[in-house]
Structure 1
Amino acid sequence: MPTIPPGQSPRPAPEPHQHRRMAESFGVDAERYDRARPRYPRALIDRIAATRSGPDASPGRAPGVLDVGCGTGIAAQQFEAAGCGVLGVDADARMAELARRRGLPVEVSTFEAWDPAGRTFDAVVAAQAWHWVDPVAGAAKAARALRPGGRLAVFWNAGQLPPGLMEAVADVYDRVLPDSLAARQWTASAVDGYTALCDKAADGMREAGAYGVPERWRFDWEWTYARDEWLDLLSTTGVHTTLPPAQLEEVLSGVGAAVDAAGGGFTMRYATVASTAIRTGSA
Structure 2
Amino acid sequence: MPDRSPKNNWYQDLNLEEKSKWYGQIANAYNKSRPRYPEKLVKRAIEIARLSTDAKIFEIGSATGTATTTFAELGFSLVCVEPNAAFYQILLRNCAPYEKVKIINTTFEEWELEKNQFDAVLAATSFHWISSEVACVKTAETLKTDGYLILLWNTPPQPTQEIYQKLLDPIYQTYAPDIKGYEAITTHQKNIRGLGNKVIDSGKFQNLVSEELICEVTYEVDDYIELLSTLSPYIAIDSEQRHTLFANLRITLHNYYGDTINLSYLSALQIAQKV
* TM-score using structure 1 length: 0.81
Count of aligned pairs between the two proteins: 259
Aligned match of 1:61? 54
1:75 is the counterpart of 2:67:
yes
- 1:217 shift after superposition: 1.2
Q: How far apart are residue 164 of structure 1 and its match?
A: 3.6
Pairwise CA distance, 1:44? 1.2
The residue aligned with 1:218 is: 212
Q: How does 1:60-139 map to 2 (within 5 A)?
A: 60-61=53-54, 64-102=56-94, 103=96, 104-118=101-115, 120-135=117-132, 137-139=134-136
Q: Per-residue CA shift, 1:165-191, capped at 9, x if unaligned? A: 31222222211122x2x2x242x31x3
Q: Does the aligned pair in 1 maintain the 2:41–2:268 contact within 8 Å?
A: no
Note closer, same or farther for the CA distance 1:52–1:195 as it changes in structure 2 (3 Å cut). closer
C-alpha contact (below 8 Å) 1:69/1:89 kept by paired residues:
yes
- Aligned-partner Cα distance in 1 for 2:33–2:13: 26
Q: What is the CA-CA distance between 1:61 and the residue it aligns to?
A: 2.7
SS of equivalent residue, structure 2 residue 206: coil
2:147 counterpart of 1:155: no
Aligned-partner SS, 1:48? helix
1:271 is aligned to 2:263: no
- More contact order relative to length (CA 8 Å, sep ≥ 6): 2
Which secondary structure does the structure 2 equivalent of 1:156 belong to?
strand
CA change 1:33–1:274 in 2 (3 A) is same
SS at match of 2:68: helix
> Secondary structure at the residue paired with 2:151?
strand
Cα deviation 1:103-160 (Å, max 9, x = unaligned): 3522233323322233621221111212212345311211111122322122221234
Summarize the Cα distance change of 1:135–1:22 in structure 2 as closer, same or farther, 3 Å threshold. closer
AA in 2 matched with 1:125: L
Partner-residue secondary structure (3-state), 1:74: coil
| Distance in 2 between residues matched to 1:196 and 1:164, nearest whole Å | 21
Query: RMSD of the TM alignment (CA)?
Result: 2.4
Instruction: Measure, in 1, the Cα distance between the counterparts of 2:49 and 2:123.
Output: 18
CA distance in 2, matches of 1:266, 1:185: 15
Aligned partner of residue 253 in structure 2, secondary structure:
helix
1:77-109 Cα deviation digits (max 9, x unpaired)? 111112212221122122112212333522233
CA distance in 1, matches of 2:264, 2:149: 26
Partner of 1:9: none
Q: Structure 1: give runs of 5+ residues left out of the alignment.
A: 1-11
Cα displacement string for residues 209-233 of structure 1 (whole angstroms, at most 9, x for unaligned residues): 2222222211222101121111121
Comparing 225-234 with 109-118, greater Cα deviation is found at: 109-118
> 1:249 maps to what in 2?
243
Counting aligned pairs with the same residue, the percent is: 22
Q: 1:53-90: CA deviations, max 9, x gaps? A: 6xxx73x337x222211111111011111221222112
Distance 2:49 2:104 in 1: 25
CA distance in 2, matches of 1:250, 1:238: 17
The alignment partner of 1:50 has SS state of helix
C-alpha contact (below 8 Å) 2:61/2:80 kept by paired residues: yes
Aligned residue type for 1:26: Y
TM-score (norm 2): 0.84
Q: Distance in 2 between matches of 1:243 and 1:88?
A: 30
CA deviation after TM superposition for structure 1 residue 17, in Å: 2.5
